[in-house]
Amino acid sequence: LKALILVGGFGTRLRPLTLTLPKPLVEFANKPMILHQIEALVKAGVKHIVLAVNYRPEVMVALLSKVEEQYDVKITFSVETEPLGTAGPLALAKEILGKDDAPFFVLNSDVTCTYPFEELRDFHIAHGGEGTIMVTKVEDPSKYGVVLQVPGSSAIDRFVEKPKDFVGNRINAGIYIFNPSILNRIEPKPTSIESEIFPAMVVDRQLHTFDLPGFWMDIGQPKDYLIGTCLYLSHLTAVKSPLIADPAKNPFVFKGNVIIDPTAEVDPTAVIGPNVVVGPGVKVGAGARLQRCVIMENARIKDYAWVQSSIVGWNSTVGRWTRLDNTTVLGDDVNVKDELTINGASVLPHKSLSANIYEPAIVM
């Protein structure tokens, strides 16, 4: 089995984190986003993964050569000289994807779910059509691709990318399986699979839906990244994952859904949870309060700081008695001084904050 992961795009909506790392390498629950997907693909029997990239492959190459060995999977970089959109990369990788008759998976790199690839493949083979897309229900479908079904069938009747008016709330989850014949529809030039290829497949009644069980989130922007983190942590708790910190052994855990890297140092008087991820090498001081937030590698939360609904980037410092809230995102190596209130700020790498921020703002 083969797969292609769409890892291009500039990740601008996940700035300031993506000023430091390409989006697929930004950690989600202490692991690069893309590794969650690679692990799930390998588990489903995928032996060859194509990474379709159009930016900074060097950083990715370094990480992924290790991954190849560790997971016994072949990873090929397919590098675009101009961004080819969400369909063009399939044509660029035609030699690999089309080398036999087996169907292949295609994934957006910024979605989180339980990745039921085996079920998707079985369903796809059973209906015999050219493609199957995973769908999920959302409250606000306007940011996504919406599908409407042929009544009483899994075939799609209409696919509308980012609808301006409400047409339905079942959306494209960004995970597909296709027969190699789809390659006959795509040229190696900038093409949107959602706006150009899917509508053509729909006309031919060759595109089907598979209902994704469980949680799903596009984690490509900070607010959604935090929501996705909460969903994923709840899932880990439900399946009794050993990654979830046991309150019996970690007295500072409050209401659960907490991951704490074993190399983090947390003062026993801190209070952490629910829905918190603490990364490797992080230090959390006395009386600090963390709730619904992500603290990335080597960040420091000083005594009595309060961090809520925010992301603290790698190597950053949150001062004593300082409060972060309302989807504040600190980039790499940001220093927020003591006794400040930061409400909804997005702070670029290497900045130092010494004044309050009361209204959402970008700090450059």
Q: For strands 317-318 and 2-6, give the pairing.
A: unpaired
DSSP state of 313: -
Q: Which is nearer to Mg ion, 220 or 228 (CB)?
A: 220
What's the count of helices (H) and strands (E) in the chain, helices before strands?
A: 7, 31
Q: Of residues 49-88, which lie at the interface with ligand GDD (CB under 6 A)?
A: 52-54, 80, 83-86
Which of residues 27, 80, 130, 218 is near Mg ion by CB under 5 A? 218
Which of residues 7, 40, 46, 87 is near ligand GDD by CB under 6 A? 7
Read off the tokens for 34: 């893309």
Backbone phi and psi for residue 320, each to the nearest 5 degrees, phi listed first: -60, 140
Tokens 């409060």 appear where?
Answer: 323
The verdict on whether 162 is a catalytic residue reads yes
CB 177 within 8 A of CB 131: yes
Annotated catalytic residue within 162, 189, 223, 255:
162
In 23-102, which ranges are E strands? Answer: 27-28, 31-32, 48-53, 74-79
Q: Could you tell me the sign of the dihedral formed by the alpha carbons of 202, 204, 207, 208, in that order?
A: positive
CB 111 within 8 A of CB 174: yes
Q: Applying CB under 6 A, does 144 fall inside the site for ligand GDD?
A: yes
Report what 84 binds from Mg ion, ligand GDD, none; CB cut-off 5-8 Å by kind.
ligand GDD
Which of residues 180, 220, 279, 313 is near Mg ion by CB under 5 A? 220
Q: Applying CB under 6 A, does 111 fall inside the site for ligand GDD?
A: yes
Let me know how long the chain is.
364
Report what 86 binds from ligand GDD, Mg ion, none; CB cut-off 5-8 Å by kind.
ligand GDD
Which of residues 38, 120, 171, 212 is near ligand GDD by CB under 6 A? 171
| Count of Cβ atoms closer than 10 Å to residue 101 Cβ | 8
Q: Applying CB under 6 A, does 37 fall inside the site for ligand GDD?
A: no
Q: Applying CB under 6 A, does 222 fall inside the site for ligand GDD?
A: no
Q: Applying CB under 6 A, does 9 fall inside the site for ligand GDD?
A: yes
If binding means CB under 5 A, how many residues of this protein chain bind Mg ion? 3
Q: Applying CB under 5 A, does 110 fall inside the site for Mg ion?
A: yes
Smallest distance, Mg ion to C-beta of residue 221, A: 8
CB 266 within 8 A of CB 249: no
In angstroms, how far apart are the furthest CA atoms of the chain? 63
Smallest distance, ligand GDD to C-beta of residue 54, A: 5
Q: Applying CB under 6 A, does 218 fall inside the site for ligand GDD?
A: yes
Q: Of residues 297-336, which lie at the interface with ligand GDD (CB under 6 A)?
A: none
Q: Select from 224, 220, 227, 236 the least CA-distant residue to 108.
A: 220
Q: Which is nearer to Mg ion, 88 or 220 (CB)?
A: 220
Q: Select from 329, 322, 245, 321 the least CA-distant residue to 293.
A: 329
If binding means CB under 6 A, how many residues of this protein chain bind ligand GDD? 26
Task: Using CB under 6 A, list all residues that contact ligand GDD.
Answer: 6-9, 52-54, 80, 83-86, 89, 108-111, 144-145, 161, 171-172, 174, 194, 218, 220
- Catalytic residue numbers, as ranges: 162
Task: Using CB under 5 A, list all residues that contact Mg ion.
Answer: 110, 218, 220
